[in-house]
Amino acid sequence: MTTDIKLIRDGKSLSWGQRLGLTLSLSFPAMLAQLSSIAMQYIDASMVGRLGADDSAAIGLVSTSLWLFWGICSAMTSGYSVQLAHKVGANDEEGARDIFRQGIIASLIFSVSMALIGIAISWKLPYWLGGEEAICSKASLYFVVFVAALPLLTINYLAGGMLRCAGNMKIPSTLSGLMCVLDCLFNFFLIFPSRIIEFWGVEWFLPGAGLGVLGAALGTVGAEAICAGFMLWYAWKKQPEIKLSGYVGAWRLTRHVTKNAVGISFPMTVEHAVICGAQIAITMIVAPLGVIAIAANAFAVTAESLCYMPGYGIGDAATALTGQSHGAGRHSLTRKFGFMAVGLGMAVMTGMGFLLYIFADDIMRLITPVVSISSLGAEVLRIEAWAEPMFAASIVAYGAFVGVGHTKLPALMNLGSIWIVRVPLAWWMASSMGLRGVWIAMCVELIFRGLIFLGRLLFSNWWK
């Protein structure tokens, strides 16, 4: 059923089955990449969860702040990868290479600046978030390791985005799988101290650094750094449409490309910043509820990510498909790919939500052995499961809109939804219902957000 993405660029007619095959062929590798990323979060959460509630809460306290920095850097790279998709769709490979070159320079400048800001605030941040004294030093250490590595992570985002928008989902997904394996391996030796284990009746000595929270950060950053190098190497040397090896071109930033990048990225960057600001506000609402609530909230967010992982994978495919179709000037095909991707995402995430509801207890016990944390986490996961179909609609429709370069209105829709609905409702309900009230507010907001994204998808000319 699969077909070649080059048919879009060549102006060939695609049947419903060919469109579905192409959507699936790009979605599955993208979903595997998301699965690897989620698996890394599960690995970190599960391993750190064995260290106790304080270490778990330390990571949970600053996780939303890290999402802020990661999201801003990722959004910045999208301004270049979307332009590259349009150039590839128009069969302008030299233009695509020029955008790739400029994207590398701009990403390094931007990410180094963000890293310096993050390092400057790292030791005060946990206190600003309302963390207890017992966990603030560990939270700061975890945060500073990740923000110092932002240039490496941003290059990973850029190279992966360029490959996906060129139609190559396999290399990013394969390297994401490798990153997951390396993360598990590094964490195994960095988090825990040296110890003796018994296996098949034989005692084995396992060396370990015993770094705890710091080991979790170093392990993940090390794995991402290695894969970022491989990702950039492949895009630079091997990907036919964008490879820079052997081609001569200027590395300076040009006004036209930079202006377009800012036009695409700025609304997304502001959106990520404001949404993460809202998530930080939610963290501040949860923090007074105690260490158990902080840890349960953080682990439940990690657990739920397994459910929406397919949506982001299909959203990545939607960006590539609508981006190349738009670049080729095929507006009707752009619209059809958007509709198909959203329908597929909603179907898959409805099934994932059903599984999340059934296996919530098992998932939380896998992450943490602390009964009070796992039981509370399972309870809020079952609340969130009801929102997954509409959450899928917002995720995948957003990816389709980004592909055609429309980011301003979708960004405003996300911002309005989370700040007007989620934050006030969570603040109001937390006082009487605790963490359960916060997650009810999240569920209501995600359903509302999905409805407004579906409305834009169905009743506007977004594909033009």
Classify residue 460 as left (phi > 0), alpha (psi -120 to 50) or beta: beta
- Residue 463, classed as helix, strand or coil, is coil
Over residues 44-100, the pLDDT tens digits come to 666 766 666 777 778 777 877 887 888 888 888 988 988 988 888 888 888 889 999
272 contacts 68 by C-beta, under 8 angstroms: yes
Asked whether the whole model's pTM tops 0.95, one would answer: no
316: amino acid identity, one letter: D
Taking the CA atoms of the chain, what radius of gyration do you get in angstroms?
Answer: 22
Beta bridge partner(s), residue 41: none
Q: What gap in Å lies between CA 269 and CA 74, rounded to an integer?
A: 8
| Contact criterion met (CB below 8 Å) for 300 and 380 | yes
- Terminal-to-terminal C-alpha distance of the chain: 28
pLDDT of residue 1: 39
Asked if residue 103 lies in contact with residue 175, where contact means CB atoms within 8 angstroms, the answer is: no
pLDDT at 435: 93
Neighbour tally for 188: CB within 10 Å: 15
Residue 3 pLDDT: 55
The whole-number pLDDT of residue 2 equals 45
Helix (H) or strand (E) holding 208: strand 202-209
Euclidean distance between CA atoms 311 and 450, whole angstroms: 12
Give me the helices (H) in 149-212, please.
Answer: 150-165, 170-190
Angle between helices 435-459 and 331-358 (to 10 degrees): 160
Domain spans, the chain? 6-459
Residue 198, SS3? Answer: strand
Phi, psi of 196, deg, nearest 5: -110, 125
Q: How many of the other CB atoms lie within 10 Å of CB of 288?
A: 11
Question: Which tens digits make up the pLDDT trace of 242-273?
Answer: 898 877 667 888 999 999 888 888 887 787 77
Q: How far apart are CA 268 and CA 420, in angstroms?
A: 18
Distance in angstroms (rounded) separating the CA atoms of residues 241 and 83: 13
Question: What local confidence, expressed as pLDDT, does residue 429 receive?
Answer: 93
- In the three-class reduction of DSSP (H, G, I as helix; E, B as strand; rest coil), residue 209 is classed as strand
CA angle, 348 as apex, 11 and 163 as ends, to 5°? 45
Given 3-state DSSP classes, what are the helix, strand and coil percentages for the chain, each rounded to the nearest 5? 80, 5, 15
Residues 6 or more apart whose CB falls under 8 angstroms from that of 383 comprise 436, 439, 440, 442, 443
| Low-confidence stretches of the chain (pLDDT beneath 70) | 1-4, 10, 29-30, 32-46, 48-52, 248-249
Q: What is the pLDDT of residue 38?
A: 63
Q: Give the model's pLDDT for residue 155.
A: 92
Would you call 405 helix, strand, or coil by DSSP? coil
